[in-house]
Chains A and B, each alone.
Chain A
Amino acid sequence: MSSKEILSWIMNQFNDTVELTYKPLELDNKKITVLYIKSLIDQELFQKYILQPFFEIDSEEKLQVYLMALPQFQEVPSKEEGLLYVMEGNVLVEIQENLYAIDFKLSKNSDVNSTSVETTIHGSELALSDNLMTNINIIRSFYHEPSLTIEYFLKGEVNKPKVAVIYDQEKVKTTALEMIKEKLKEIDKQVITESPQFSNFLNQKRFSLFPQMLLTERPDRIVYNLAGGKIVLLVDGSPQCMMAPVVFFDFMTTMEDNYHTFVISNYLKLLRYLGIFVCLLLPGIYIGAASFSPEVFRTEFMLTIAGSRMGVPFTSFVEVLFMLFFMELLLEASIRLPKAISATAATVGGLILGTAVTEAALASSIMVIIVSAVAISTFVIPVNEMAFAIRIVRLLLIVVASIFGLAGLTLGFLCLVMYLVNQTSFGEPFLRVYNYRKENKKSEGEA
């Protein structure tokens, strides 16, 4: 297929859109044809690197060599590729029966965001940007290894965003990489907009509770995990990336753990693990102890609970579910609300729920303390996806505890551990204890 035919084929694809610009230029003995979408390209660059040289360089051959020397230069192997290039913001140039693409993409979303989800006190406050190339630039400039490999895929029938799979060839766990690539091939979706979607697309189980991939926006976490052998998935237009394979303990670490001294970071870790147990088990323990086996706690404590429950019209589990329901509503609401209002909403909600509910004797004052302890400890979990999963598990444990008491709660917790042990993330055991085998260190995610 000649270059002329390709150009006319591409134009046919766009048929009626006015966006497409087709310009044959002819001066003296030089003749080139350019084709581009006006809104996608950087017009200044186009002017500077194509139009100006066209008028300055005297022969067609020299012009062609000049074009090939440009860093944005790309060959056009087929008409489909050519179409894609145009849509990605390339300028197609036809010269001497040859068709080239010059990348003049104008991207207005390449600013680096500041961290909003994984904020830390120590460490960088810059996150990824919305632009894939900027993101790869960030990663490459943090990770200087020739073995760092980036593979691009186009996924999504309709919007066709670029998907980059990044890994360190020497350190990556090959079975996981193959599995991910295979599953990537199977993806058959119309629209893909954000990288978190891949977590579900690559997961073949329909109902999965715990995340199979780790979502992050921090470049330092990406670099750390790349070095640990993980595979990073980036989607153009998404400021977050997915990492796999993961273990449960990845979700319990923050990057700050590496920035503190040994004692402090271990203390913080301990705090975090205590927090996860509190937010998982505390409501269940309350129900089990208050309604099934009041002898497990100190006498004074049980009497205080009994006293504070006086006049509460609900049984303990209704009380817990009632309060947790409002707490979850408050949480959800404060995410959706604009920032200026959400603080007020949280305060008002907290005050009303906290004091008014006990004043009205709809819940005991101990219950309010438990609910707020649970809410606070949920926030201690550093990765959001895990916090969501834990919230669901907590509900299940409440149900088990209100039917079978403390023994049921213990059994339910055991079931949770069994479930976690049974899970795998791209061939890696999900509940593998952090760094348990030194020789596997290379292939293991250590974040």
Chain B
Amino acid sequence: MLKTVKTKFFILASISSLILLSGCGEFKDIDKMVFVSMIGIDESGNPDKPYKIILKLYVPTSSFKQNPAPEYTYLIKEGLTMDETISLLESHIDKELDFGHSKLIVVGEKMLQNKKNKVILDFLIRRPDIQMISYFAVGRPNAEEIVKFAPAGETALQPTIFNYFDNSGAETSYIVTSFVFDFRRRMKEDGISPILPIVEMDESKTHFIINKSIVLEEDKPPYELDSEKTLLVKLLSNEAKSIFYEVKREDELFVTRLDTIKPHYTVDIKDNHKVSIKVDIKLAGIITESKNSLRNKELPRYSKLLDEEMKEKVTSIINELKREGYDPIGFGLSLNSHTLPKNRMNDKEWLSAFQNADVEVKVDSSLKSTGSIQ
């Protein structure tokens, strides 16, 4: 008897306390939310309100067939701080802003030059509803134009720009993908520099062009890499899946398609306290285009030509990065990872060591075919 009274009391108490709880998140129907597609952050030029926030909002359509054209609305506001600006923007719309589906954060080029990236990152990290798996990119000439731009061929609900980054659409090796969490890691970590893709539009304003990247380093201006350098950096950081590479040597001019790319590098400190970077790249692929006629017998010679070409290019990009003091590949991190904490160099020591490092590149490629059927 006592037991049943106890259970009843327990049920009553738990139900009444459950009603008081708000649960996780508020009940809000999906049609009362508006989803943010992209966030653009620009510099306004106004010293009182330095930030300009551009939000691209999805307009939901009930049927894709009825409404295949892309439709977006934009919220733009300048403000002193980013969070305040966004909270003001929330009063511009009748629904709740939901950042859960915003996949891309575009930062204007000027913002980076003015070293605002730390402030931006701080804002992005602190806001819980901004996903850390969003892509992070640099907009050229500014974020607003990139965010507002809908390229030809875009359909409703599917912003084409995401396809550039997620490997489900474009699979080119010229595009660097940077997530917010990865960007933050590279910012915080010693020995690796953040690298961001640059998003541009072509002259006729029909498509995006994403094949350049920008490397950031504390206390230094951002360093831009053109498309070829971007490719090589991707290749070295083992992110390139397949690349087309042109070889122009000894009267031969051919293009190779390299499917197997295995870069390997070791960073060591030698006896004379000098850092040595050894890069060993294994390549395999076929020749896809050639000016002269090629012969299968001579494949080893072509491979050798590719080795030389690649070695020269890779050495020069590493030397360039080293000279300028940017490290998007993470040589410093690699060294730190197998050095005891007490032996690690501090930032300045590493920078000078890196700039004086010996670079040794070895390329071992094997071309399997001349691509033609004989």
Contact = CB atoms under 8 A, between A and B. Distances in A.
A306 B31 contact: yes
Given A295-B100, A303-B157, A307-B61, A408 B24 contact: yes
Q: Is the interface of B mostly helix, strand, loop or mixed?
A: loop
Interface string B53-64: 000001011111
A291 B103 contact: no
Interface residues of A, number: 27
B35 A302 contact: yes
Contacts of B13: none
Contacts of B157: 299-300, 303-304
Contact of B30 (A302, A311, A404, A405): A302
Contacts of A408: 23-24
Nearest to B100: A295
Q: Is the interface of A mostly helix, strand, loop or mixed?
A: helix
A264 interface: no
Contacts of B35: 294, 299, 302-303, 306
A148 B61 CA distance: 67
A39 B179 CA distance: 87
Contact of A310 (B23, B37, B60, B101): B60
Contacts of A291: 27-30
A305 interface: yes
Nearest to B159: A299
B88 interface: no
A305 B31 CA distance: 8
A316 interface: yes
A295 B98 contact: yes
Contact of B60 (A307, A404, A407): A307
B11 interface: no
B33 interface: yes
Interface in B86-108: 98, 100-101, 103
A293 B23 CA distance: 12
Nearest to B27: A291
Contacts of B27: 291-292, 315, 402-403, 405
A403 B103 CA distance: 29
B25 A292 contact: yes
Residue in A303, A305, A312, A403 whose Cβ sees the most chain B Cβ within 10 Å = A303
Interface residues of B, number: 26
Most chain A CB atoms below 10 A, which of B18, B64, B100, B158: B100
A308 B60 CA distance: 8
A242 B101 CA distance: 53
Residue of A292, A307, A309 most packed against chain B (CB within 10 A): A307
A103 to B, nearest CB: 50
A290 interface: yes
A316 B61 contact: no
B81 interface: no
Given A295-B101, A310-B60, A310-B62, A305 B30 contact: yes
Contacts of A315: 27, 29
A295 B132 CA distance: 13
Contact of A306 (B18, B25, B26, B60): B60
B355 interface: no
Give the interface centre of B30, B31, B60, B63 by most chain A CB atoms within 10 Å.
B30
Contacts of B103: 299
Nearest to B31: A309
A405 B98 contact: no
Contacts of B37: 299
Interface string B61-82: 1111000000000000000000
B131 interface: yes
Contacts of A405: 23-25, 27
Contacts of B98: 294-295
Contacts of A407: 23-24
Contacts of A305: 30
Contacts of B30: 290-291, 294, 302, 305-306, 309, 316
Interface in A295-336: 295, 299-300, 302-312, 315-316
Contacts of A293: 25, 100
A299 B101 contact: yes
A118 B137 CA distance: 60
Nearest to B25: A292
Interface string A391-405: 000000000001111
A294 B101 contact: yes
Interface in A257-313: 290-295, 299-300, 302-312
B58 A290 contact: no
A244 B98 CA distance: 53
A307 B29 CA distance: 12
A294 B62 contact: no
A307 B23 contact: no
A130 B150 CA distance: 73
B23 A403 contact: yes
B120 to A, nearest CB: 21
Interface string B6-46: 00000000000010000111111111010101000000000
A311 B31 CA distance: 9
A292 B17 CA distance: 21
A290 B25 CA distance: 12
B62 A308 contact: yes
Contacts of A309: 29-31
Given A295-B100, A295-B101, A299-B101, A310 B25 contact: no
A264 to B, nearest CB: 34
B24 A295 contact: no
B150 to A, nearest CB: 16
A293 B26 CA distance: 9
Count chain A CB atoms within 10 A of each CB in B27, B37, B158 and give the residue with the most. B27
- Shortest 4 CB-CB contacts between residues of A and residues of B: A295-B100, A307-B60, A306-B60, A404-B23
7 contacts: A292-B25, A294-B101, A303-B60, A311-B62, A403-B27, A404-B23, A407-B23
Given A300-B158, A404-B23, 16 more contacts: A292-B26, A293-B25, A294-B100, A295-B100, A299-B58, A302-B30, A304-B157, A306-B30, A306-B33, A307-B61, A309-B29, A310-B60, A403-B18, A404-B24, A405-B25, A407-B23
Interface of A: 290-295, 299-300, 302-312, 315-316, 402-405, 407-408
